[in-house]
């Protein structure tokens, strides 16, 4: 995964984490991917794929909207209402194979329902 900077979450020395020192350019990430493309199990996830295809929860169980206001806590309002208040690219999520069967039987995509 390429390091993704999320405004207000990991973008300064005043946030809980500051990931700016780990940032690389898209070109540097592509060079890394090209060098390691033959490694078993290698899956590249550049920022343009990750940015809106992940659902990220903070320590208060709020969905983060990549720099906009977070949702209300899912503990207060539930998953569906909280999810409706943030942008999430479900199509990109599905394209990157975001649904996994975590059993030892293997990787199988399944339908996602909220």
pLDDT digits 0-9 by tens, 33-62: 999 999 988 888 888 877 788 888 889 999
d(CA 72, CA 43): 32
Neighbour tally for 37: CB within 10 Å: 9
pLDDT at 41: 83
- The structure's pTM equals 0.59
pLDDT at 110: 52
DSSP3 helix / strand / coil % (the chain, rounded to 5):
30, 5, 65
| Digit-coded pLDDT (tens) for 57-113 | 889 999 987 656 889 999 999 999 999 999 888 888 888 778 877 776 555 555 555
């Amino acid at each position: 995964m390429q390091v993704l900077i999320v405004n207000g979450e990991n973008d300064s020395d005043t946030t809980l984490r500051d990931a700016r020192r780990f940032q690389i350019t898209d070109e540097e990430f592509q060079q890394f991917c090209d060098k390691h493309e033959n490694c078993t199990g290698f899956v590249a996830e550049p920022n343009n794929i990750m940015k809106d295809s992940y659902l990220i929860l903070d320590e208060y169980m709020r969905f983060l909207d990549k720099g906009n206001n977070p949702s209300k806590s899912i503990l207060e309002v539930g998953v569906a209402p909280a999810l409706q208040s943030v942008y999430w690219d479900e199509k990109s999520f599905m394209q990157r194979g975001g649904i996994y069967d975590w059993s030892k039987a293997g990787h199988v995509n399944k339908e996602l329902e909220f």
